[in-house]
């Protein structure tokens, strides 16, 4: 249909592009200057993808920046006793050794879920959490897996009972919140309020899980400062990949901003794992749920019930266009978080890039709507360059002690694939 989605290549052309704000902190001074291989258009777009600033304030969670809450959350994140069988913790699917993500395509907690576990790294920067955005705050998302049958399969009462029954946890709870964990017979209101605190402690911990500066960030900062050697931070392949990412491959249209994600929802026609009809309704199935969730930014447990996020969540509208839409994931540390897409359909970044290049297998049920995407028809080398560039978005991960289970040794496997400096100026293998 003519009026439907035009190729995104047509938008965003012309005019100065100001740096997009990731909520909270302002843009860094200056931006990479054009010159040599970085032409004006590229420079303008690159300016919208600066290094990630500090984690934005979360007024809906009054314990967001509390150290003691974060310590409690740290313990809870790795505590498998909070699940029905006692074997599943948050870390089961959000493994620190795997970029706080999961190498399995579908999440396996108490049961197998329908989706791939997203990374928790940098989640504090996102407005909407999870693939379908069914939570509008970090703490509101953190409470959901406890009561989901295939995730932790438990109940809020049991979770609180476990915390109350462990003197160490209970002590930390009192330190963090200044009150005791409510007993089993405390009544629904008290249980719900305490459950929200569980989420807020976890969120306080998760706010520590940032990916840290990447080669791209170092390049960006040095180039913005006019440092002549800035390009040395990237290999030739990574530079070519950057030019594609912000140029003819058009990735920046949805993967813009410091997070390399617009935080919004799109349907890119990703086919289901087993082929056949798409059955996962994505955003369409959860809009009403977000609006009505008692643990949302507008609800009774929020510490900022009339703030920005609350107002947005209250006024959400749904529509048939939202069917099958999923949130743009951040590309930071993507190299460490295989497989990819909402059901882990793509095992490697190379497969992801090939999908965008060929659109093979993409499903489009309404033949009158143009797709969001156009085939890119990239060469093999161009695809490899894009994959290389995505590798340059990887940072070292969170600082200790947050990057591992409490009291554990440093993680054996690297957080991210090695990014050796020796690669940077080597000629790529000829293809």
Which residue, 179 or 288, has its beta carbon nearer to other proteins? 288
Which residue, 146 or 245, has its beta carbon nearer to other proteins? 245
Please choose, from the candidates 45, 210, 39, 54, the residue with its C-alpha nearest in 3D space to the C-alpha of residue 121: 210
* Rounded-to-integer distance, Cα 14 and Cα 4, Å: 22
Residue 148 Cβ vs other proteins, minimum distance, rounded to whole Å: 22
Which residue, 277 or 409, has its beta carbon nearer to other proteins? 277
Which residues would be at the binding site for other proteins (CB under 8 A)? 1-6, 8, 10-12, 15-18, 20-21, 23, 127, 256, 262-264, 269, 271, 275-279, 281, 288, 308, 311-312, 315-321, 323-324, 359, 361-371, 374-375
Residue 268 Cβ vs other proteins, minimum distance, rounded to whole Å: 11
* Rounded-to-integer distance, Cα 300 and Cα 286, Å: 20
* Rounded-to-integer distance, Cα 263 and Cα 280, Å: 19
* CA-angle at 305, arms to 304 and 310, nearest 5°: 100
The neighbouring-strand residues paired with 35 are 38
Task: Return all residues near 195 (Cβ < 8 A) that are at least 6 apart.
Answer: 143, 146, 156, 159, 160, 295
Which residue, 2 or 431, has its beta carbon nearer to other proteins? 2
Q: Are 363 and 324 within 8 A, CB to CB?
A: no
Which residue, 74 or 256, has its beta carbon nearer to other proteins? 256
* Rounded-to-integer distance, Cα 39 and Cα 427, Å: 22
Which residue, 269 or 411, has its beta carbon nearer to other proteins? 269
Cis peptide leading into residue 401 (ω within 30°): yes
Which residue, 45 or 404, has its beta carbon nearer to other proteins? 45
Q: Are 200 and 64 within 8 A, CB to CB?
A: yes
* Rounded-to-integer distance, Cα 294 and Cα 427, Å: 56
Residue 307 Cβ vs other proteins, minimum distance, rounded to whole Å: 10
Residue 19 Cβ vs other proteins, minimum distance, rounded to whole Å: 10
Residue 21 Cβ vs other proteins, minimum distance, rounded to whole Å: 7
* CA-angle at 113, arms to 107 and 118, nearest 5°: 45
* CA-angle at 414, arms to 410 and 415, nearest 5°: 95
Residue 254 Cβ vs other proteins, minimum distance, rounded to whole Å: 9
Which residue, 66 or 261, has its beta carbon nearer to other proteins? 261
* Rounded-to-integer distance, Cα 88 and Cα 81, Å: 7
What sign does the dihedral 81-159-298-150 (CA atoms) show? Answer: positive
Residue 31 Cβ vs other proteins, minimum distance, rounded to whole Å: 13
Residue 318 Cβ vs other proteins, minimum distance, rounded to whole Å: 8
Assigned token pair, 151? 């995730």
């Amino acid at each position: 249909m003519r009026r439907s989605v035009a190729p995104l290549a047509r938008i965003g052309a012309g005019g100065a592009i100001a740096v997009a704000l990731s909520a909270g902190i302002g843009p860094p001074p200056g931006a990479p200057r054009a010159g040599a291989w970085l032409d004006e258009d590229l420079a303008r777009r690159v300016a919208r993808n600066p290094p990630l600033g500090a984690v934005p304030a979360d007024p809906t969670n009054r314990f967001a920046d509390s150290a003691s809450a974060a310590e409690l959350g740290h313990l809870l994140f790795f505590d498998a006793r909070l699940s029905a069988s006692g074997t599943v913790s948050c870390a089961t699917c959000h493994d620190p050794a795997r970029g706080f993500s999961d190498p399995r395509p579908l999440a396996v907690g108490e049961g197998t879920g329908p989706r791939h576990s997203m990374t928790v790294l940098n989640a504090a920067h996102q407005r909407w959490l999870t693939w379908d955005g069914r939570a509008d705050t970090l703490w509101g998302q953190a409470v959901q897996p406890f009561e989901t049958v295939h995730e932790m399969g438990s109940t809020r009462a049991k979770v609180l009972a476990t915390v109350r029954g462990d003197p160490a946890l209970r002590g930390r709870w009192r330190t963090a919140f200044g009150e005791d964990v409510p007993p089993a017979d405390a009544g629904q209101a008290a249980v719900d309020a305490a459950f929200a605190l569980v989420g807020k402690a976890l969120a306080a911990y998760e706010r520590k899980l940032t990916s840290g500066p990447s080669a791209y960030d170092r390049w960006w900062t040095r180039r913005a400062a006019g440092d002549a050697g800035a390009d040395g931070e990237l290999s030739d392949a990574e530079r070519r990949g950057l030019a594609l990412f912000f140029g003819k491959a058009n990735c920046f249209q949805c993967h813009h901003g410091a997070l390399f994600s617009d935080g919004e929802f799109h349907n890119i026609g990703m086919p289901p794992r087993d082929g056949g009809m798409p059955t996962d309704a994505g955003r369409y199935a959860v809009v009403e749920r977000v609006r009505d969730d008692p643990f949302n930014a507008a609800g009774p447990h929020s510490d900022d019930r009339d703030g920005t996020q609350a107002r947005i969540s209250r006024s959400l509208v749904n529509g048939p266009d939202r069917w099958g839409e999923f949130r743009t994931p951040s590309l930071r540390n993507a190299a460490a978080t295989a497989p990819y897409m909402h059901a882990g359909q793509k095992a490697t970044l190379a497969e992801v890039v090939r999908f965008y290049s060929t659109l093979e297998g993409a499903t489009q049920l309404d033949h009158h709507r143009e797709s969001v995407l156009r085939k890119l028809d990239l060469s093999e080398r161009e695809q490899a360059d894009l994959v290389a560039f995505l590798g340059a978005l990887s940072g070292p991960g969170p600082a200790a002690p947050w990057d591992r289970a409490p009291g554990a040794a440093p993680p054996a496997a690297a957080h991210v694939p090695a990014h050796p400096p020796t690669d940077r100026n080597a000629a790529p293998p000829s293809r």
